[in-house]
Amino acid sequence: MQHPPHQSPQVAAVTALPGPRVPSREEDGPWHAEAVCKRDEAGLFFAPSKEPTAARLSREEAAKRVCARCPVMIACRQHALLQPEPYGVWGGLTAAERRVVLARMRRRAGELRQQPGSEPIAAAG
């Protein structure tokens, strides 16, 4: 199984598990074949252990600049949200930013289910 270009070996092992996949562009191959980050070092996209906050912020901003010029940024972001990828910068979003997006998506889905005319959702408990 081919993994996106900036994926660390540790993350590759985790994401090799079955799960939703972003559809590939049949005529050009998988979306990550066009990723700009495949030419960059994985260290730019994944934090080393015990990285100081200032260094992490600087590294993440540099990774986001790479993402900003990438033709497959949206597909990469969709992949990271669908998997979900727990680490690194994907599609211009950090792991923390992706958690916020996913929480908003879940909240919005819950609001849509609660609209008049929809089935009530049983409370968990």
pLDDT > 70 fraction of the chain, expressed in percent and rounded: 69
Asked if the model's pLDDT at residue 74 lies above 70, the reply is yes
Question: 119 falls in which pLDDT band (50, 70, 90)?
Answer: low
Query: pLDDT tier at 120 (50, 70, 90 boundaries)?
Result: low
- Write down the domain spans for the chain: 24-113
How buried is residue 40: exposed, middle or buried, by Cβ count under 10 Å (0-12/13-18/19+)?
Answer: middle
What residues contact 16, with CB distance under 8 A and at least 6 apart?
A: 1, 3
Residue 18 pLDDT: 35
What average pLDDT does the segment 109-121 reach?
73
Higher model confidence: residue 74 or residue 30?
74
Mean pLDDT over the full length of the chain: 77
Q: Using one digit for the tens of pLDDT, what is the confidence trace for 39-72?
A: 767 789 998 889 999 999 999 999 999 999 999 9
* CA quadruple 80, 21, 102, 91: dihedral sign: positive
